Amino acid sequence: MYYESLEELKERFNKRETLFNQYVEDAKTAFSDEEVEKLFNKAFEVFDDLGSLVDKLNELDNSFEWTKRYMACSSKLVELSSISMERSFDSPATSFFKTLKRNIWG
């Protein structure tokens, strides 16, 4: 079984984080509801990948840098979800955040 080195994991995280940020920025400026929904769903998929990478990185590096960066992505995703909820999308990611919002903020 192959295990990635810390440097390889960092590189993968950086690339995925860049892709995530691009999806978020593109969604904020998209003109059509369909495009916003598509980009939001892509960002959510990448966010899920980032979570797996953070778990692996935290096993090798206890600086919590990766957790902080992941949480920053989380904040961006929540902001983007509020845009998609305003536009009334019914995607799996939007449903996830609607449930989260109900459970946390009532």
Mean pLDDT on 56-73: 92
Q: Look at residue 20 and tell me whether its pLDDT is greater than 90.
A: yes
3-state SS, 27-70, equals HHHCCCHHHHHHHHHHHHHHHHHHHHHHHHHHHHCCCCHHHHHH
| pLDDT reading at 98 higher than 70 | no
pLDDT reported for residue 32: 84
What distance in Å separates the CA atoms of residue 61 and residue 96, rounded to the nearest whole number? 30
Compute and round to an integer the Cα radius of gyration of the chain: 15
Query: Mean pLDDT, to the nearest integer, of 8-13?
Result: 96
Q: Are 27 and 39 in contact (CB under 8 A)?
A: yes
